[in-house]
Structure formats: C-alpha cells, structure tokens
C-alpha cells in the first residue's frame, strides 16, 4: 500500500438503523472524531476510495461511531462491513498523539547504534508493538516493548532499541 495512507482500523459492525458503523481503531484515546472529515476504504486490494463523514463520535476507547455521507440505512452500511479504514498520513498527526505507535511508520529503527532501516508497518499487540522492516530483501518483525525499547526520538524519527542476541539471525540466517 502507498506510504501516503495509514491503516487506522476496520469497520466491525453496524450500529442502529440509520447507517452508522462501528470502526475499531488504533488511534488511541486522545482523538477528536469530529475533526475527521474523510476516510479511505479499500474497494479492491490496494485501491482506496475516499468517503466523506457526516458524523463521527467516540463509542469507547478503541471504537468510533461513524456515519458516511450517502449511507442512510443498515442495508447500505452492510456492504462496508470488515473493510479496512485508512487516513492520509499527513492527517494522522492531527488525530493522534505523537507517541502513538501508528505514527512510527517511516521512523528508522536502530539496534545498538546500527540503522536497521525504516518502519514499513506497525502491528499492535496486547503486550508489545511489532515493527515490520525489510532487511536484506527479507521481512523482519522487530518487537518494541519494555525490554527492547531504549529510547524513542520523535524529533529525529528514530526508535532506539537493544534487541536480544540472535533475533535478527532468525530472520536473516
């Protein structure tokens, strides 16, 4: 997928009879849903189309209630179920705090001072975050948790880690 967009979650359910949808997101709890004017939904693999929002509000910490323009009932909303939801990368910082892992895409990961490359994707799990990198033309998943994170340098867009011995060898042979 294009680096100009970030995946923020997925439409998981329909809410009520007037076409509202529940979006499960990973933007964090310090967001202002009313400021989100447009989202992008995947129509086909790697094809995003813009959808304008007529209303959005928090349902709980990790869910939003979203109503798209032109979607007036639950039948119309049903065709969007299980679709991935994307935002433009430049808007992401408006809707999230700078320490939210979703904003780490593009940061460079360093292990003991060595630049491993840029974060291509962030995968959030309950007890850690995985950063997907490509090293020597191979996909590598780097865990970021209390044990591995040395320092987060937001100004320099760097993630400074101390990885366990042998972790990279698992991927790189």
Cβ(104)–Cβ(159) under 8 Å? yes
Q: What is the pLDDT of residues 73-84, one digit of tens each?
A: 999 999 999 998
**More reliable by pLDDT, 125 or 78:** 78
Would the pLDDT of 1 be above 60? no
Instruction: Note if the pTM is more than 0.75.
Output: no
Q: What are phi and psi of 94, to 5 degrees?
A: -70, -35
Q: How many CB atoms lie within 10 A of CB 102?
A: 22
Does the structural domain 102-172 have CATH classification 1.10.357? no
Tokens for 123, please give them.
Answer: 């995968």
Residues of the chain with CATH 2.30.30: 102-172
pLDDT band at 91 (very low <50, low <70, confident <90, very high): confident
Cβ(123)–Cβ(133) under 8 Å? no
Q: Which CATH class is domain 5-97?
A: mainly beta
Q: What is the pLDDT of residues 12-42, one digit of tens each?
A: 999 999 999 999 887 776 677 778 899 999 8
Q: What is the C-alpha separation between 79 and 156, in angstroms, rounded?
A: 42
Identify the pLDDT of residue 70.
Answer: 93
Residues of the chain with CATH 2.40.30.60: 5-97
Q: How many CB atoms lie within 10 A of CB 5?
A: 18
């Amino acid at each position: 997928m294009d680096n100009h967009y970030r995946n923020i979650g997925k439409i998981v359910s329909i809410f009520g009879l007037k076409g509202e949808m529940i979006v499960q997101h990973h933007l964090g709890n310090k967001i202002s849903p009313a400021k989100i004017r447009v989202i992008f939904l995947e129509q086909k693999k790697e094809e995003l189309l813009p959808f304008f929002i007529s209303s959005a509000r928090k349902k709980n910490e990790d869910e939003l209630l979203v109503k798209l323009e032109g979607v007036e009932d639950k039948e119309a909303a049903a065709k969007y179920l299980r679709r991935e939801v994307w935002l433009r990368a430049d808007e992401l910082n408006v809707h999230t705090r700078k320490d939210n892992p979703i904003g780490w895409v593009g940061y460079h990961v360093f292990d003991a001072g060595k630049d491993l490359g840029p974060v291509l994707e962030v995968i959030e799990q309950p007890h850690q975050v995985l950063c997907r990198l490509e090293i020597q033309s191979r996909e590598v998943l780097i865990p970021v948790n209390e044990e591995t994170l040395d320092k987060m340098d937001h100004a320099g867009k760097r993630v400074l880690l101390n990885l366990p011995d042998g972790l990279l060898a698992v991927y790189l042979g």
